[in-house]
Amino acid sequence: MTLATAAAAGRPSVPRRSVPTPYPTWFFLPAAVIYGVLFLFPTLASLFFSMTRWTLFNWTFIGFGNFIQFFKEPFLVGGLINTLIYAALTSGLKVVLGLLFGVLLTSEIWARDYLRSVVFFPVLVSTVGVGITFTVLMHPTEGLINESLALIGVRGPGWLTDPRLALISVALVDVWKGVGLATVIYIAGIVSIPRDYYEAARIDGANAMQRFWNITLPLARPATVTVVLLSLIGGLRSFDLIWSMTRGGPGFTSDVIASVIYKQYQAGFYGLSTAGNVVLFVLVALIIVPLSIFLNSRDVSR
Amino acid sequence: MPRSKNWSVLAGFAAGLTVMTALSGSAFADTTTLSFLVPSGEENVARAQSLVKAFEAANPDIKIDIDTRPGGAEGDNLIKTRLATGEMSDVFQYNSGSLFQAINPQQNLVDLSGEPWQADVQDIFKKVVTAPDGTLRGAPIGTGMGGGIYYNKKIYSDLGLQVPKTWAEFMANNAKIKAAGKIPVIQTFKDTWTSQLFVLGDFFNVNVAEPDFATKFTANQAKFATSPAAMKGFEHQADVFKAGYLNEDFGAATYDDGLRKLATGEGAHYPMLTFAIGAIKTTYPEHIDDVGFFAMPGDDAAKNGLTVWMPDGLYISGSSEHIDAAKTFAAFVASPAGCEAQTAALGATGPYMVKGCSLPKDVPGAVADLLPYFGENGAASPALEFVSPVKGPSLEQITVEVGSGIRSPADGAALYDEDVKKQAQQLGLPGW
């Protein structure tokens, strides 16, 4: 779903003529059945169960009680703020770093292909594997990062155990892992800009900075839209990295909405966690749909 | 979304198990094959294997296959899902007390009230496997445990310290240990569950001060935040942090790190349940005699006693097709022969809940420290989770926050009171 949105976002829509198709509408049926069984039915069922107190063995209908409880959840407000911080931070850094790497890796530099694969490599590694590795590296006393800092006389902080730092540390690891994808999207975007513009600008006497601001940045806009949407959606529903690194800890300080929901599920509050998922679904839709419409309308009108 | 992913994994797992049981069932037409689900972890698997081996030798017509499941909250989910879908193994090991109440025992488990061996099971255990309708649904598997503080005997003898009976004595010991350059109190918040002992292990002292706390707590009349005795656990948790008595890496250390620091004498105290003796024995056998154990210190030395954890229960799934064979196995586990098989696998880790079971004379030091509390004149009280079905799921995060100075004890206690509300409502208790 996210990929489809993103792909559609990058392209102005082409008006289609209605041609009578030789295929009967029945051909939709297999897809409709799969869609209904695997998506529509669970979605409707979750809407229903989000309004029940559900133990898996039996359920009681309690109306909007779960939603009220979920919003009263003391960790939820913190989790909501953390989610927004996390999404904005990872998304922002991926755009900036992805663009920089994209420009760098499309220019004529030494070992370009090798560097491209180096930047992309972290994307291929399993998220949980990355999480566990960085947890070891970020250990406050025995981790490689702080031991290296100690060599130059700096006393490193508790990256994952200091409540002020934990969320930011995880976000930085997320950026390390995800920036490769943003870079690849930017490379594709930048490569598709016609060389003629750069030549014309150079003849007019534009320097490298001016060429970047006036040609690369505006014409790479579809790539920016894609990166922003993808990383924002990813950031809002981010779970696996946070769970494998801090489990929302220390305490509740790095909890995001997804981890709050998962904890409710673990505790056996199935109705409550289903309600949480409905809230997450609505939240992601509320942020992404207007943003996508906004970004794409600007794109078309240009 | 994490949720749906979990579901499909569970469904696949359950389906796979069904196929396996079906196949093995037809392969041994003349013998009955039972499936037996135990929590993963060295101690549990070793115990199950030893029990099954001894049982199969005595009952050649019954064969038992052992499956393992994850522990903790993940395991709770798996148990609930398999019970709800009717895919549960014939017999399984699971917590007694409040977690037992959460799996709807009346509907899902076979009634074992009428079994002859129930006469030999200690009453204290029967209470924690009793369904709301008053029937008994489980047999004891494993030994009773204590929740208190392990201490390193070498550090104690080097510094000439006495085992503390009050919190003031405990803190005075800590000051001396710190002055000697050792870690006074080990905390391991990477494994968040290890952070709950100061609160949960203090229940004996709560019970002495307010004997009706558990009843009132279940009825939504008593709260941690408004009961001075119950607040103590949260305050103690904050005290050791504020005094700077924790190991430097307390936020990132794991349970295994904690055991290492304790056994090798890096640290003096580690609040933990006594089941850790088994792990110390297998991992640091050369240090097993350096480790001792005492109950959570309270206010009054004369009234010091131990908060006790009951062993797990062995349950028979209501959907089992071999209930008679399963009952034979349960009877074996709850017999002196069953206790012997468990001791053969793990050594002595604590007292059994079956009359007629005995322990070898040569027990590890920490177990020797534990046994008197269970004896005739011992002072012991079951933990809150065995006398009240109400247990909030977020206690471990709250105690981590209180124990790392992120949240004040009063705030933590109030937050926990909010947390238990959901559990009580989920169980449909009156008064919530």
A 182-201: CB under 8 A from B: none
What does the pLDDT average to over A23-29?
A: 85
* Residue B281 to residue B286: CA distance in whole angstroms: 8
Q: What pLDDT is recorded for position B391?
A: 86
A258 touches chain B (CB under 8 A): yes
Which of A56, A60, A132 would best serve as a mutation to test chain B binding (most B beta carbons within 10 A)?
A56
Does residue A10 have a pLDDT over 50? no
Chain B positions touching A266 (Cβ under 8 A) are 73-74, 76-77, 393
> With 80 as the cut, is the pLDDT of residue A56 above it?
no
Q: Is B189–A161 a contact, with Cβ atoms under 8 angstroms apart? A: yes
- Looking only at the bridges linking them, the beta strands covering B312-316 and B139-141 are antiparallel
B108: which chain A residues are within 8 Å (Cβ-Cβ)? 57
* CB atoms near residue B216 (< 10 Å): 14
* Amino acid at residue number A110: W
Q: Is A223 on the interface with B (CB under 8 A)?
A: no
Highest mean pLDDT among A62-66, A237-241, B374-378: A237-241
What's the pLDDT score for residue B102? 84
Q: In this structure, what is the dihedral angle of CA atoms B432, B382, B311, B78, given to the nearest 10 degrees?
A: 20
The span from the CA of A24 to the CA of B333, in Å, is 66
End-to-end CA distance of chain A: 26
With a cut of 70, which residues of chain B have pLDDT below it? Answer: 1-30, 376
Q: How many other CB atoms sit within 10 Å of the CB of residue B204?
A: 25
In chain B, residues with a C-beta closer than 8 Å to the C-beta of A258 are 1-2
Nearest chain B residue to A164, by CA = B406
User: Closest Cα partner for A118 from A109, A208, A144?
Assistant: A109
Task: Tell me which of A266, A279, A283 to substitute to probe the interface with B (most B C-beta atoms closer than 10 Å).
Answer: A266
Buried b / exposed e over B379-398, threshold 16 CB at 10 Å, is ebbbbbbbbbbbbbbbbbbb
Rounded to whole angstroms, the Cα distance separating A91 from A295 reads: 15
pLDDT tens by residue, B131-189: 989 999 999 999 999 999 999 999 999 999 999 999 999 999 999 999 999 999 999 99
| Count of CA atoms in the C-beta half-sphere (13 A) of A96 | 7
The residue among B294, B286, B295 whose CA lies nearest residue B263 is B286
State how beta strands B145-152 and B306-309 pair: antiparallel
Alpha-carbon distance of A76 to A189, in angstroms, equals 38
Residue B36 main-chain phi, psi, to 5 deg: -135, 115
Interface test with B, best of A52, A62, A242, A253 (most B CBs within 10 A): A253
What is the mean predicted confidence (pLDDT) over A235-242?
89
CA distance B286 to B354: 31
Coil, strand, or helix at residue B312? strand
ipTM of the complex: 0.76
Look-up of token digits 């040609």: A215
Distance (Å) from the alpha carbon of A30 to chain B's nearest alpha carbon: 21
Is the pLDDT at A8 greater than 60? The verdict is no
Q: For position A111, what pLDDT does the model report?
A: 87
Distance CA A30, CA A35 (A): 9
With an 8 Å Cβ cutoff, are A140 and B248 in contact?
A: yes
Q: Which of B38, B42, B130 is closest to B93 using CA atoms?
A: B38
Q: Does the beta carbon of A177 lie under 8 angstroms from any beta carbon of chain B?
A: no
A2 pLDDT more than 50: no
Task: Please report which confidence band the pLDDT of residue A16 belongs to, taking 50, 70 and 90 as the band edges.
Answer: low
CA distance A136 to chain B (A): 9
The answer, for A70 touching chain B at a CB cutoff of 8 Å, is no
Nearest to B378 by CA among B343, B347, B351, B407: B351
| Whole-prediction pTM | 0.80
Chain A nearest C-alpha distance from B188 (Å): 11
Beta-carbon separation of B393 and A56 below 8 A: no
Q: What is the pLDDT of residue B269?
A: 96
Residue A298: per-residue pLDDT:
64
Average pLDDT over residues A55-70: 81
- HEC string of chain A equals CHHHHHHHHCCCCCCCCCCCCCCCHHHHHHHHHHHHHHHHHHHHHHHHHCCEEECCCCEEECCCHHHHHHHHCHHHHHHHHHHHHHHHHHHHHHHHHHHHHHHHHHCCCCCHHHHHHHHHHHHHCCHHHHHHHHHHHCCCCCCHHHHHHHHCCCCCCCCCCCCCCHHHHHHHHHHHHHHHHHHHHHHHHHHCCCHHHHHHHHHCCCCHHHHHHHHHHHHCHHHHHHHHHHHHHHHHCCCHHHHHHCCCCCCCCCCCHHHHHHHHHHCCCHHHHHHHHHHHHHHHHHHHHHHHHHHHHHHHHC
**A79 and chain B: CB distance < 8 Å anywhere?**
no
Cα B413 to Cα A260, B207, B410, B416, B419: the distances in Å are 20, 17, 5, 5, 10
Please, what is the angle between helix A166-191 and helix A127-137, to 10°?
130
Does A250 contact B107 at a Cβ distance shorter than 8 Å? no
- Nearest Cα neighbor of A176 from A120, A237, A132, A225 is A120
Name residue B238's amino acid. A
Contacts of A277 in chain B (CB under 8 A): 1, 3
Chain B residues whose CB is inside 8 A of the A161 CB are: 189, 249-252, 404
C-alpha B318/C-alpha B247 separation (Å) is 48
Q: pLDDT per residue over B84-135, tens digit each?
A: 888 999 999 999 998 898 888 999 999 999 999 999 998 889 989 999 899 9
